[in-house]
Structure 1
Amino acid sequence: MEIYNKIIQIKEGSGGNSKVLNPLNKAGIPTLLRYLNNYNITGKVVGYRPDYNVTWGAADNERGYKIKNAARIKQTMPDVTSIITAGGKPAIMFHIQDKGKINGVEFKDNLEVTEELALQLNAYENFNKNFYAVVDGQPINPELAQGKKVVLIGRVEEEKFSGPEALKKLSELKAGKYDIVVMQNIRLNQDDRKAVGSNGTHIVEPLVPLLDVMVNDATSAWHRPKDPTMKSINEMMLEAGKHSVAGELYVTEGGSLQTLRTGFLTDPEHSVAIFGGAKVADEVNEKGKVTKEGKLTPILKIVELGIPNISLGGKMLNPILAALGKSIGAAKISQDELEGAQKILDACKQHKTSLILPEDYITVPENYFELQPEEKAKSLKIETEISEGRMQVDIGPKTRKNLEELIDKMNYWYWNGPMGVFEDPLLAKGTDTIIDALDNKKSGFGIAGGGDTNAAIEQNKGSDYKGTPNNVVSTMGGAAMDFLGFNQKDNKGNIKDLPVIESLKNPSIA
């Protein structure tokens, strides 16, 4: 059985001492996953669960928006094409952002994702030599299709994730009418947060008889066990005597995280976690359920794990400053954010964690984002204390230099979240400092992860940049933070993995 076949070897230390860390055998972290490559899928219907949470932008078309960055679809091409070339029939069960609006236009379904999937398949070298993908109902390009097997993609158009049309399309996939079926966005009606449908049946239960193998590759949703396509379907497939396995992204990104957590545990003094961004506290509805996850709780777990160095920036710095009795200028924070910040400060004191805060800030007036470009540049100030009526929107030059020196000394690091409003070039220097410092690391190992982090890196380095051997660019934000801070143990004293990962392990081995 192949298990985490991509072992990441890293050298730590800047002097003559170096050692190789193997993520399989340190800190008692089990990684014995059932893996896709170990199964014969010829003629099988393969449920494939990726994260297709792409970046959107405005467009002059009927729907008013389009996919701006399809990196998350592109990165699944190895698995999708390997399923097809092995004779499997993928049923793609993905998520994108919740139903809402983009530039004032209501965002609805899976249409753009389905069309982009066909484009990415036809651009992928390991696929386009022998196959040509086309969405059902769209014309076939005779030049592209010449001499190749046409792969027909069916799209579920109804809003229900596992409704009558979805079941019909899966049956047709099994019967050979389609070669790929794209299911509806699991988050369209927040079905990822529902276990049971209106008819009392578990949302994913009707799918199990129509699937032969389930492949879970949505690493960024590792921390969402309540999503029925993440954990419940794995367990149901096993109960039905079928296979539920990990995909290639699980193996590569999971291996990176295992290595980093091992480094954090074995060399904490030379480890740092750097947090920024705008997601601060959890958002909770009137029933007390978390509707949007922030960073304060995962950071608290990482402090409790014993990481001695934590550096903060971005909007999430504000509640920490307020809890310390420092000025936050015109920034607004909630009581929940303030209470969460105080918990972090208390935990840092208890665990003797160094909470590294900026020495200086770039600040702007409240109306900064309404100003003309030349007025914006003139309004910037470098401050050591945030003045009344102003907001901190980036770290200052002293702090940038401090961060460069800190990163240079570290053997292990995790970065999640920009230091400022990076979309504005005037406010991107702090974020760019981290990107360049990590890019220049020649020893040690770390991960830069999360949606905003990825967007900032793309802005700085371009869309094809994938990191370096020492610094991995990952899709995982909240999932990575939960993974690194997850410290539950089994009855043998071994650190357990997140529940979704546990559901993919081989019970006869793990």
Structure 2
Amino acid sequence: MNGFKTLDDADVAGKAVLTRVDLNVPMKDGRITDDLRISRILPTLHELSRKGAKVVVLSHFGRPNGKVVPEMSLKPVAAALATALGSPIAFAEDCVGELAQDAIAKLKPGGIVLLENTRFHAEEEKNDAEFARKMAALGDVYVNDAFSCAHRAHVSTEALAHLLPSYAGRNMEVELKHLTAALEVPEKPVAAVVGGAKVSTKLELLGNLLSKVDKLIIGGGMANTFLFAQGREVGKSLCEKNMADTARDILREAVARGCAVVLPDDVVVAREFKPGAASKVVPADRCPADQMILDIGPVAAARLGTLLADCRTLVWNGPLGAFETPPFDAGTVTVARTAAALTAAGRLLSVAGGGDTVAALRHAGVAEEFSYVSTAGGAFLEWLEGKELPGVAALQKAA
């Protein structure tokens, strides 16, 4: 993934720069509960402002389905963004038309304005050409700093790149740099941790990784399906028994490609899935009929630590167990901390993202200790699946 221009190539002084970011942050009772996405875009906004651009910030928020939904206004986010930036910013009640034009006209070089939710217009998600021209007319330059939205071919994420001089923001640049280093041109051996509930939702991901990595570590509910496919008893565990043939196909393909699939040696089982439930460790093929597998066991966790110590690159997507519910977090926490320690020692490039991964690494206290943790969900997964991301492809074509 390369071939795009960055802010190093952009002349932005005195120009209106349409800057697509991802401000779709979690909120509760009008307060942002996780500001990681805000902190990630600050370098781009600060740099554009410092270089004298008139910074016009574009983002979606929630899924208003092309209608104005007051609860999905970006106005509350504007206040949080201003606090994070350490300077006031303006807010426009629309992302096209006179309200947006007037707000931009009032900007001085270095000033920043946040436009209202792009998805208040149905044309945004339809990638409508006329709507794209209206939005492009607001600016002189386009910067995409929203990798987490790059899998969507929308006006603000894709079409604008074809209508204005276009560049990747610093967040986008850093993300693509790490993703390229992790799977496109990795230092080998490469390991991938893939967890989560269902094999059926990650077939394309598994298929792509078989040709990219040396060791494929499978955990979570997915591992139960593979254990079942090998004829092992999984009791009342979450298990897609109808996917057994598919799991066996994946295992055969892995052998053909020289990829070692790693399943747990031992597991933590319990009769009930609740915090503090009575549990025990058993071999992976000895799950009692009246119990369920909820985590990998200590032997499996130790084995994975040894395995990672022999690798140079790690891609992580999904927890190894039901980490939200102690004591079934131990496996994920142990392996995550091992990966973080190897990263700190300069022995491992570790890149993680997608789904519950960020929450799991935060729970383990190591989210800041991996080489890179992506805030992208769907985009990260589609990248793992080997798919072309429209937002990235548009930047490459523009270059």
Q: Same fold (TM over 0.5)?
A: yes
Map 1:32-431; keep pairs closer than 5 Å.
32-56=3-27, 58=28, 64=29, 66-98=31-63, 108-122=72-86, 132-133=87-88, 152-156=89-93, 166-176=96-106, 179-186=111-118, 193-196=125-128, 203-222=131-150, 224-235=151-162, 237=163, 242-264=164-186, 267=188, 270-278=189-197, 281=200, 294-303=201-210, 305-332=211-238, 341=247, 344-366=250-272, 368-369=273-274, 376-383=275-282, 384=284, 385-431=286-332
Distance 1:93 1:390, change over 3 A: farther
Q: Distance between the aligned counterparts of 2:294 and 2:120, measured in 1?
A: 33
8 Å Cα contact 1:34/1:506 also seen in 2: no
Shift of 1:392: 2.3
Any idea what SS the aligned residue of 1:404 has?
Answer: helix
Shift of 1:506: 6.5
Any idea what SS the aligned residue of 2:364 has?
Answer: helix
For 1:351, the aligned partner's letter is R
Q: Distance between the aligned counterparts of 1:389 and 1:189, measured in 2?
A: 52
Shift of 1:86: 2.0
Shift of 1:484: 4.9
Distance 1:94 1:394, change over 3 A: farther
Any idea what SS the aligned residue of 1:413 has?
Answer: strand
Shift of 1:262: 4.4
Shift of 1:247: 0.6
Distance 1:271 1:99, change over 3 A: same
8 Å Cα contact 2:295/2:329 also seen in 1: yes
Count of aligned pairs between the two proteins: 388
Unaligned runs of 5+ in 2: none
8 Å Cα contact 1:311/1:355 also seen in 2: yes
Any idea what SS the aligned residue of 1:210 has?
Answer: coil
8 Å Cα contact 1:192/1:226 also seen in 2: no
Any idea what SS the aligned residue of 1:435 has?
Answer: helix
For 1:113, the aligned partner's letter is V
Distance 1:425 1:202, change over 3 A: farther
For 1:32, the aligned partner's letter is G
Which of 424, 433, 438 is the equivalent residue of 2:339? 438
| Deviation digits for residues 212-259 of structure 1 (CA, Å, limit 9, x no counterpart) | 11111112233x143333222212x1xxxx311101112222112222
Q: Distance between the aligned counterparts of 1:228 and 1:169, measured in 2?
A: 19
Q: Distance between the aligned counterparts of 1:339 and 1:208, measured in 2?
A: 50
Any idea what SS the aligned residue of 2:98 has?
Answer: helix
Any idea what SS the aligned residue of 1:450 has?
Answer: coil
Shift of 1:401: 0.7
Q: Distance between the aligned counterparts of 2:177 and 2:113, measured in 1?
A: 30
Q: Distance between the aligned counterparts of 2:252 and 2:103, measured in 1?
A: 55
Shift of 1:78: 0.9
Q: Distance between the aligned counterparts of 1:336 and 1:229, measured in 2?
A: 41
